[in-house]
Amino acid sequence: MEHKQASLEDIVSLSKRRGFIYPGSEIYGGLAGTFDYGPLGVALKKNIENLWWRRFVEERDDMYGVDAAILMNPKAWEASGHVSGFSDPLVECSNCKNRFRADHLEDPNVCPSCGKKGTLGEARQFNMMFATKVGAIQDDSATVYLRPETAGGMFVNFKNVVDSFHPKLPFGLAQIGKAFRNEIAPRDFIFRVRELEQMEIEYFVKPSEWEAAFEAWRQSMLEFGKEIGLPDAAMHELEVEAEDRAHYSKRTIDFEFDYPFGRKELWGLAYRTDFDLSAHQEASGQSLAYMNEESKEKIVPHVIEPSFGVGRTMLAVLASAYREDELGGETRSYLALSPKVAPIKAMVSPLLKNKPELVEKAKEVRKELQKVHPAIAWDDNGNIGKRYRRQDEIGTPFCITVDFDTLGETPELADTVTLRHRDSGEQERLSIAEAAERIRQAIA
Ligand code: GAP
């Protein structure tokens, strides 16, 4: 069916109205580059993270999860090259004093804010790490950074995991957590923010095996995209040119996505060589070499790094799922979310809220369905059509209604319910056990 493509406005407005994502500290006028996740946003985010964790950690024998501290010894960020090199080019307008990223300007001679020509100064490098102080002493020795990527926490734990688990190469570490970047110009809702969340993997390989591992991870990333409902047609791979790659990378592919505001980076896949382990080895004085027990050979492993931004993934999921169509002569907007990521898996409703026997039976049905998944909502407000619309808008795949036939008014229909499908609006009559099975299969 033809449907209207989502604009960013549609997504921002639905996210706020229905409790997915709010502007950060909104009652104080907000804080640029920060967002707060509401009840449905948290559920969607956790579902995406849990699918990622299951696929890339729990279902594999070669992956180890970690959850490292956000604050790290600042020497780690000196060794990784972030203190000296994690910067963006900044220009300032001498007329309006606004600041911009030099590499994002449409015309380097015109200020995008006040429109004056020739007022943008020379570009200077602006380090994007947030610095703060630890403890009661406030001099320079107390400076630490909020981590700009979760990766750092994994490199410094490489030796710990090797010593505890003795994994064989290749193996990887995985982590989901916050990272912070003092972006010069946060923009496009949750696309470019200052406080972000990443799901990252550092996969350690023998140097000669990096290409095969890189290719395998490329495929795995695409498969994950499919699982969470990102359409193939909206995903594109960009081989990043040497001059645009991060300082640690010898090969990078950006997975780009067709967002409502254009084709932009969704995820990255990088070959970080032995850059990080070697740098940390040198700076810490600790050996990070890996001893191959069979060959008795000592090597510093090389690294393939699949990196996923959680917010950018959510925005891609929401943009892909947003639909507007006509149903029953009315225009409706809905989210065609994969049941696996949908915050609510089904809604149960008594046909009439003032009939205690219907309400009681519907509560029983809900309890039964919650054995399949706890995220089964209850709604008895307003007429049934309005309840359906509310669930459509938040992407609930199924609505289940308990009516007089459920109670046995037509004896052969006793203990059956109607199950309505979100996308088509079609309904079918089935037993409570069959309804449970539908939900089980949809989220499996
Ligand atoms: N450890 C590698 C690394 O951090 P990156 O390309 O700088 O590489 C990885 O970031 C991913 O993190 C990006 O592909 C994107 O999904 C997400 N990301 C980076 N900066 C972001 C920002 N300011 N706001 C939201 N997501 C961001």
What are the pLDDT digits (tens) for 175-228?
Answer: 999 999 999 999 999 999 999 999 999 999 999 999 999 999 999 999 999 999
Residue 267 CA, closest ligand 1 atom number = 14
* C-alpha 380 – ligand 1 centre gap (Å): 42
The finding on whether 82 has its CB within 6 A of some atom of ligand 1 is no
Residue 200 CA, closest ligand 1 atom number = 1
- According to the model, what pLDDT value does residue 400 have? 98
* 230-243 average pLDDT score: 97
* 337-361 average pLDDT score: 97
444/423 Cα distance (integer angstroms): 19
Q: What's the one-letter identity of residue 152?
A: G
Which pTM was predicted? 0.96
What's the chain's average pLDDT? 96
* C-alpha 182 – ligand 1 centre gap (Å): 12
The finding on whether 201 has its CB within 6 A of some atom of ligand 1 is no
The finding on whether 272 has its CB within 6 A of some atom of ligand 1 is no
Two structure tokens written together for 41: 């946003």
Whether 388 shows a pLDDT value over 80: the answer reads yes
Nearest-CA residue for ligand 1 atom 24 is: 192
Contact 172, 269 (CB under 8 A): no
Query: How would you classify residue 365: left for phi > 0, otherwise alpha for psi between -120 and 50, otherwise beta?
Result: alpha
- According to the model, what pLDDT value does residue 293 have? 78
- According to the model, what pLDDT value does residue 136 have? 87
* 226-233 average pLDDT score: 97
15/389 Cα distance (integer angstroms): 15
Q: How far separated are the first and last CA of the chain, in Å rounded?
A: 26
- According to the model, what pLDDT value does residue 279 have? 98
161/175 Cα distance (integer angstroms): 13
Tens of pLDDT, residue by residue over 136-153, are 887 888 899 999 999 999
* 337-360 average pLDDT score: 97
Nearest-CA residue for ligand 1 atom 19 is: 309
* C-alpha 244 – ligand 1 centre gap (Å): 14
Two structure tokens written together for 403: 């009516």
* 230-252 average pLDDT score: 96
% of the chain surpassing 90 pLDDT: 93
Tens of pLDDT, residue by residue over 264-313, are 999 999 999 999 999 999 999 999 999 887 788 899 999 999 999 999 99
Two structure tokens written together for 384: 């049934």
Residue 307 CA, closest ligand 1 atom number = 9
- According to the model, what pLDDT value does residue 3 have? 60
Contact 131, 143 (CB under 8 A): yes
The finding on whether 196 has its CB within 6 A of some atom of ligand 1 is yes
- According to the model, what pLDDT value does residue 70 have? 98
Whether 2 shows a pLDDT value over 60: the answer reads no
* C-alpha 223 – ligand 1 centre gap (Å): 20
384/401 Cα distance (integer angstroms): 9
Q: What is the pLDDT confidence band of residue 5, given thresholds at 50, 70 and 90?
A: confident
- According to the model, what pLDDT value does residue 163 have? 96
Tens of pLDDT, residue by residue over 289-303, are 998 877 888 999 999
* C-alpha 412 – ligand 1 centre gap (Å): 57
